[in-house]
Amino acid sequence: TQLLEQSPQFLSIQEGENLTVYCNSSSVFSSLQWYRQEPGEGPVLLVTVVTGGEVKKLKRLTFQFGDARKDSSLHITAAQPGDTGLYLCAGGPNSGGYQKVTFGTGTKLQVIP
Amino acid sequence: SQTIHQWPATLVQPVGSPLSLECTVEGTSNPNLYWYRQAAGRGLQLLFYSVGIGQISSEVPQNLSASRPQDRQFILSSKKLLLSDSGFYLCAWSGVREKLFFGSGTQLSVL
């Protein structure tokens, strides 16, 4: 069974601060996705990374896929209240059977104005 | 563009009552369809997935079942709800890649 552990589990910061969320596994993934979810809504895809060492930027968000494709990080610069939500990483399987996407344990972020 | 509809948004049901949650997708053909359950503020657990009409795979043994009577329709059911069935249920679809697109979810409370 592939497991994805996210840390921290909860994070409360002031507006303008920087933060990093980690997603770690002992398994190798063919790709890794990051989603953001707001209360009472479904998760929304932010980014997909597929190559070991890949870095993608989405405005103030920077996503990195580990060289060994076992871990990933999400860094937010100058956090804003609109960044508040539950961040989920999700790993795609090596077999290519995307029905086996594994979700991480989640990081709940609160950005205080 | 593709859209996914899931209803109802909230549901309160007594223990032992039946359940039917429906999900439909528009703007795409032959999508892969999924039902997930989410504990409060936590990750998602895959319950069922389907790669075509009438094709259902179950990930975990449970009190629930799923059906896909039409290409873009996915239904989650139970004959008798248990307290442990309470949770946030999410329907999702994916195309040729591993990107998932989720519905807005159903908050189910079994009392």
Q: What is the pLDDT of residues B5-18, one digit of tens each?
A: 999 999 999 999 99
Are the C-beta atoms of residues A109 and A88 closer than 8 Å to each other?
no
Tens of pLDDT, residue by residue over B31-59, are 999 999 998 777 899 999 998 999 999 88
Taking CA–CA distances from B97, the nearest residue in chain A reads: A98
Residue A45 exposure: Cα atoms within 13 Å on the Cβ side: 17
Interface-testing mutation among B3, B98, B102, with chain A (most A C-beta atoms within 10 A): B98
Contact A101 B41 (CB under 8 A): no
* A96 pLDDT above the threshold of 70: no
Quickly tell me which residue has 């921290």 as its tokens.
Answer: A8
pLDDT at B2: 86
* A97 pLDDT above the threshold of 80: no
The CA distance from A51 to A53, in Å, is: 6
The CA distance from B31 to B3, in Å, is: 12
How far is the CA of B37 from the CAs of B42, B76, B101, in angstroms? Answer: 10, 11, 15
* B95 pLDDT above the threshold of 80: no
In 3D space, the residue among A46, A57, A102, A107 whose CA is nearest the CA of residue B36 turns out to be A102
* A31 pLDDT above the threshold of 90: no
Interface-testing mutation among A5, A49, A98, with chain B (most B C-beta atoms within 10 A): A98
How far is the CA of A102 from the CAs of A4, A13, A49, in angstroms? Answer: 7, 28, 15
* A14 pLDDT above the threshold of 80: yes
Least CB–CB distance from A105: residue in B36, B42, B103 = B42
The CA distance from A50 to A41, in Å, is: 26
Mean pLDDT of A67-74: 95
pLDDT band per the 50, 70, 90 thresholds, residue A99: low
The CA distance from B58 to A82, in Å, is: 36
Least CB–CB distance from B105: residue in A42, A90, A103 = A42
